[in-house]
Amino acid sequence: MKTLAMLLLAALSAPAATGAVTYYLTIAGLGGEPDYAQRFKMWAEDIDGSLKKAGGDSSVTTLNAPQLEQIRTRFADLAKQAKPADSLVVILIGHGTYDGHDYKFNIPGADLTATELAALLDRVPAQRQLVVNMTSSSGGSIEQLRRPNRIVIAATKTGSEKNATNFARYFAEALREPAADTDKNESISALEAFRYAQTKTTEFFDTQKRLATEHSVIEDTGKGTGERTVTTENGQGKLAASFTVVRLGANAAAARDPNKRPLLDKKEQLEQAIEKLKFEKAAMPAQEYKRQLTQLLLELARTQEALDKP
Amino acid sequence: MKYLPRLGAVTLLLVLTLPAQTLLAQTLDQAEALWKARRFKEANEVFLALVAKEPKNPDYKVRLGRMAMEHTEPDYAQELFAQALEIKKDHAGALVGLALLASENFEARAGDLAKKALEIDPKLLEAQELLARIALEDNDNPKATEQAKKALAIDPNSVQGKAVLATIDLLADKKDTSWDPHTARGYETIGHFFVMNRRYEEGIQYLRKAIELDPQLYSARSKLGINLMRLGQNEEAYQQLELCFKNEFQDAATRNSLKLMDTYKNFVTFSTPTTILKLDKKEAELLRPYFQSEMDRAMATYEKKYKLKLEKPVQVEVYPNHEDFAVRTLGLPGLGALGVTFGYSVAMDSPSGRKPGTFHWASTLWHEMSHVYTLTATGHRVPRWFTEGLAVHEETAISPDWGDRLNPDVIGAIKNKKLLPIAELDRGFVHPTAPAQVIVSYFQAGRICDYIDEKWSWDTLLAMLHDFGAGEDTVSVVRKELKIEPAEFDQRFFAFIEADTKNAVDHFDEWKKGLKSLVEKSTAKDWDAVIKEGTAIRDMYPDYVEEHSVYEALAAAYLAKGDKPAAIAELSRYEKIGGRDPESLKLLSKTLEEAGRTAEAADALNRLNFIYPMDAAAHRSLGGLWLIQGNVKGAIREFAAVLARNPQDPAQAHFDLARAYRADKQDEQAKEELLAALETAPGFRPAQKLLLELSTTADRK
């Protein structure tokens, strides 16, 4: 976890690429039954609303039960519009199937296979990509979808988890829920959203006293099969931690004011010092750690106070 | 842990593979001798050889069945007795075998089977002995005496006949009895009945006597181990059960109890001078304040009500896994109860062990704690109906919405005149004729105590309790304290309960039909119809607060139509009558808060704490509400509960707790929590601001 914290800090400190756009494409698949159709549409609309509210330089598209041709058309547009510095987020909600070889996302008419989806994604120049496949059997799509610089989140660990999933409900919630922002940087990263939805899904099965029929996983190294948790050992989560899905506040405003640059520099130095101190925690006396942490946090708070002044 | 190979599992294989000479060489005497020598596997082989040789001989199957019973394989035994009856439908031995198996589970059919066996063979001692035992289990001493004497008439040395008569004397605190059986199995029976009467310490003494006389009587040794475990004497309990296990006595109760004790390392113990609280590590931090507070409150209340100060601490064990709790109490999984009391020791389900909204843990705790007082006050001599009745009475005495509501089973029993006479009410607990009869008996016993409290007084109930402690039975206690005959009491009580429940009983069928239609209208979101039909049927059966309650349907309809005050009114009715669904209580709290009724909003969430305290979001909301209202101690408890749930957002949880500490002027604790919040999220601005504020305050000092 320590490694992850450092990486997160690095991501926050890195200068934002000016003019970079995030393209969002949310697709609600075929419900089959009215109850599911309504549910999938509702979750897709929930996500659409959060993405649009989040502001920033973005393009949000949501398709409800589209046919394969409509999806291909949208990806063709994305392939034309997106630049390498841009980001792409594709979110799938609905039913999926897995026959042991390929995964299929259920839509009206011919289904979208994971192989075709991977090809469509590959044609979009945006280098940083996030695919959130929240359907049943979505774990069966990881092998086709994984690639360096692409985060793949799946609602199920394998293609054999065939029951309709609940993960999408909580992923949608994560995008508008401040509690998902665990580091309080006023934005929800892919990793924070994944963890929030995973925890809530687990709680759902626990409280209902039901056997869990879905086990969400994340893969962002381009070579794994998907992990339930992010650890130093499995090396997962680095990209996801630095991939902002939605911004909840105006945290980028200060960066645009040149008068505040020295304060921002000081803030970044303090944040780095705090992270360094946290690394050293285990090797130092508790009282000394607390003294130094208090000092640094107070200084950081004063710096932030100065930054917040108009 | 290694398990004994089951005899039943190898039956077919052995029959197919035994050589012909072996089959011919076997005799029943050999099988019986091997069984007596506890060489079960070899005895099984000989029995199977005999069965293979004479497949139409039911006697071999019955004897093998009896050995399977001793070898703790009831299913195998049952199968063999059934096979014997297929060969000879009036085989008395097979019938008595089935009767004995049924009696182990307190099945009402045990008596019928024993009687049938006696009709076939009037001299069948075991059947007669079993009838005596069953009568004593029903606390019907005259009948038990009569049946036991019949057994002694068949055989003057009848061990069980003597044991039953001796038990009657000993339970009545006679120092000596002329019926002392002087045998291990006799003492095992006496021990069994002391345990049944919740006189565990004395039961243990008799079980010890049994194994002193016959160290190989593992059924008694296992009972000893289980009852030691019940009283918290785990070290010796484990030793005794392990000894059984190693000697091929591996019934479910022995195995499960050993497995359970292996999990005790996962529990933490919190002790005060008057209480011992054992909680699973994973939920101890969260549950401790709530359980401790209710234990203390219950003890303070009962000390005054029962005019009794307990001599040693009460132990409460809380199991997040319901099956562990069931094993802890019965030695077997599958128990339907929520809590059980063994003297000063209470075991109960954790609120996390049940589906949210189906279990009121605080009500269960108060129920069980009242048993500690009634058992102690009477030296464990209180009949089951009275201790359960008082416990049910206490549930609603502390808070009217806590106790269980009038349910359809009870309505059915009242309508069909199935309530039992007071003198026979124990039968409804011990030998119910249908599963619902236990629930009905709890209700009836509780309402009897309510009725006596209302028509006579609390002191009358206390006097009855003391009479029971002095060894008097229900009939004499009713005559003495209520000054009427039991039959007269029944007449008056039935009239009272029928009048009290008349509305629900008379309208139940109409209400049931209306509810079905209401659920359909709700599903179709036909809100106008829901309001019309729901309003029409709601008061026909106002106690119904379970799934698809009318209150919740009406509240949903009113909310859909934008009428929040009406929705609040319905949900408030639901709450006050005893509705327990966490989502509905949270909805009530939210709508009350939106209406500016924050005190009532907090009350609704606080009520949820007694039902399902595992919901971090509810704790956070309640903490926030109490902080606004100035209940800072309450806010601290609630925000600490959020932290104990390993929250999704730890920085926010630490910050909330810091705010509460700050409001309580506990600045050092507030600072600790702020540091924890900011360590997780250094840029968390509200926490930064509070840290600066605290720092400035400290500098000024």
A239 shares its domain with A292: no
pLDDT for A298:
95
Q: Is B640:A262 a contact under the CB 8 Å cutoff?
A: no
Interface test with A, best of B642, B656, B679, B689 (most A CBs within 10 A): B679
How far away is chain B from the Cα of A199, in angstroms, using its nearest Cα?
7
pLDDT for B515:
96
Residue A252 clears pLDDT 90, i.e. is over it: no
CB contact under 8 A, B648 and A195: yes
A123 shares its domain with A64: yes
pLDDT for A51:
92
A and B: number of Cβ contacts within 8 A = 74
Contacts of B655 in chain A (CB under 8 A): none
> Which residue from B355, B650, B691 is facing A298, i.e. has the nearest CB?
B691
d(CA B254, CA B221): 10
d(CA B19, CA B40): 20
d(CA A284, CA B272): 36
The rounded mean pLDDT for chain B is 91
The rounded mean pLDDT for chain A is 87
Contacts of B688 in chain A (CB under 8 A): 297, 300-301, 304-305
**Amino acid making up residue A19:** G
d(CA B272, CA B290): 15
d(CA B181, CA B201): 20
A156 shares its domain with A259: no
In chain B, what are the helix, strand and coil shares in percent, each to the nearest 5? 70, 5, 25
Instruction: Give the strand pairing for A96-98 and A103-105.
Output: antiparallel
Q: Of A83, A110, A102, which is closest to residue A29 (Cα–Cα)?
A: A110
CB contact under 8 A, A304 and B675: no
Residue B430 clears pLDDT 90, i.e. is over it: no
Q: What is the pLDDT of residues A19-78, one digit of tens each?
A: 689 999 999 999 998 999 999 999 999 999 999 887 668 899 999 999 999 999 999 999
Residue A3 clears pLDDT 50, i.e. is over it: no
d(CA B188, CA B190): 5
A129 shares its domain with A182: yes
A206 shares its domain with A299: no
Cα dihedral sign, B443-B448-B453-B458 = negative
Degrees to nearest 5, angle at CA B349 with B265 and B201: 75
Contacts of A200 in chain B (CB under 8 A): 648
Q: What is the pLDDT of residues B536-588, one digit of tens each?
A: 999 999 999 999 999 999 999 999 999 999 999 999 999 999 999 999 999 99
Q: Is B243:B235 a contact under the CB 8 Å cutoff?
A: no
d(CA B230, CA B611): 26
The structural domains of chain B, with segments of one domain joined by +, span 8-209, 267-497
Q: Is B25 exposed, middle or buried (0-12, 13-18, 19+ CB in 10 A)?
A: exposed
Residue B422 clears pLDDT 70, i.e. is over it: yes
CB contact under 8 A, B651 and A208: no
Q: What is the pLDDT of residues B208-231, one digit of tens each?
A: 999 999 999 999 999 999 999 888
pLDDT band at residue A268, thresholds of 50, 70 and 90? confident
Q: Is A237:A218 a contact under the CB 8 Å cutoff?
A: yes
- Written in H, E and C, the secondary structure of A149-175 is CEEEEECCCCCCCCCCCCHHHHHHHHC
A291 shares its domain with A191: no
Half-sphere exposure of B508 (CA within 13 A, CB side): 18
Read off the pLDDT of each residue in A196-210 and give the average, rounded to a whole number: 90
Read off the pLDDT of each residue in B346-363 and give the average, rounded to a whole number: 92
Q: What is the pLDDT of residues B371-381, one digit of tens each?
A: 999 999 999 88
User: Residues with Cβ < 8 Å from B120, sequence gap 6 or more?
Assistant: B90, B91, B92, B95
d(CA B169, CA B177): 6
Interface test with B, best of A177, A182, A186, A289 (most B CBs within 10 A): A182
d(CA B73, CA A283): 59
Read off the pLDDT of each residue in B143-171 and give the average, rounded to a whole number: 96
**Amino acid making up residue B223:** K
Q: What is the pLDDT of residues B290-336, one digit of tens each?
A: 999 999 999 999 999 999 999 999 999 999 987 777 777 665 444 55
pLDDT for B4:
40
CB contact under 8 A, B685 and A290: no
CB contact under 8 A, B688 and A308: no
- CATH number belonging to domain B8-209: 1.25.40.10
CA distances from B521 to B412, B551, B554, B562, B565 (A): 27, 14, 11, 18, 22
Give the DSSP letter string of B582-643: HHHHHHHHHHHHHTT-HHHHHHHHHHHHTT-TT-HHHHHHHHHHHHHHT-HHHHHHHHHHHH
Buried b (16+ CB within 10 A) or exposed e, B419-433: bbebbebbbbbbbbe
Among A136-140, A234-238, A255-259, B509-513, the least confident range: A255-259
Determine what percent of chain A is predicted with pLDDT higher than 90. 63
Read off the pLDDT of each residue in B260-264 and give the average, rounded to a whole number: 84
A238 shares its domain with A271: no
- Domain with A300 in it: 254-308
pLDDT for B21:
42
pLDDT band at residue A267, thresholds of 50, 70 and 90? confident
Contacts of A180 in chain B (CB under 8 A): 648-649
A89 shares its domain with A195: yes
CB contact under 8 A, A184 and B675: no
Q: Is B468:B382 a contact under the CB 8 Å cutoff?
A: yes
Residues in B 670-689 with any Cβ partner in A closer than 8 A? 671, 675, 678-685, 687-689
Q: Which of these three, A224, A247, A270, is where a domain ends?
A: A247
pLDDT band at residue B701, thresholds of 50, 70 and 90? low
How far does CA A298 lie from the centroid of its chain?
31
The verdict on A306 touching B (C-beta cutoff 8 Å) is no
B295 phi, psi to nearest 5 deg: -60, -45
Contacts of A185 in chain B (CB under 8 A): 681, 683
The verdict on A297 touching B (C-beta cutoff 8 Å) is yes
Q: What is the pLDDT of residues B456-470, one digit of tens each?
A: 999 999 999 999 999
Beta partners for residue B269, in sequence order:
B278
Considering only alpha carbons, which residue of chain B is nearest residue A298? B692
A303 shares its domain with A158: no
Considering only alpha carbons, which residue of chain B is nearest residue A208? B355
> Which residue from A290, A302, A305 is facing B675, i.e. has the nearest CB?
A290
Q: Is B264:B234 a contact under the CB 8 Å cutoff?
A: yes
Give the total number of structural domains in chain A. 2
pLDDT for A8:
36
Read off the pLDDT of each residue in B675-693 and give the average, rounded to a whole number: 94
d(CA B80, CA B47): 12
A76 shares its domain with A217: yes
More confident residue, A154 or B646: A154
Among A107-116, B31-40, B178-187, B360-369, the least confident range: B31-40
Q: Is B611 exposed, middle or buried (0-12, 13-18, 19+ CB in 10 A)?
A: buried
d(CA A43, CA A26): 10
Structure tokens at B591: 């709508």
CATH value at residue A19: 3.40.50.1460
Contacts of B695 in chain A (CB under 8 A): 298
The verdict on B583 touching A (C-beta cutoff 8 Å) is no
The verdict on B648 touching A (C-beta cutoff 8 Å) is yes
Considering only alpha carbons, which residue of chain B is nearest residue A203? B615
Q: Which three-class secondary structure state does DSSP give residue B80?
A: helix
How far does CA B654 lie from the centroid of its chain?
38
pLDDT for B562:
96
Q: Which of these three, A247, A267, A287, is where a domain ends?
A: A247
> Which residue from A181, A297, A308 is facing B682, i.e. has the nearest CB?
A297
Q: What is the pLDDT of residues B12-43, one digit of tens each?
A: 444 444 443 444 456 888 998 998 888 888 89
Q: Is B266 exposed, middle or buried (0-12, 13-18, 19+ CB in 10 A)?
A: middle
Q: Of A4, A180, A24, A37, which is closest to residue A87 (Cα–Cα)?
A: A24
A263 shares its domain with A129: no
Q: Which of these three, A206, A221, A247, is where a domain ends?
A: A247
Q: Which three-class secondary structure state does DSSP give residue B316?
A: strand
A235 shares its domain with A291: no
Contacts of B678 in chain A (CB under 8 A): 297, 300-301
Residue B108 clears pLDDT 90, i.e. is over it: no
pLDDT band at residue B7, thresholds of 50, 70 and 90? low
Among A60-74, B144-158, B433-447, B590-604, the least confident range: B433-447
The CATH number, out of the four listed (3.30.930.10, 3.40.640.10, 1.10.390.10, 3.10.20.740), of the domain defined by the range B267-497: 1.10.390.10
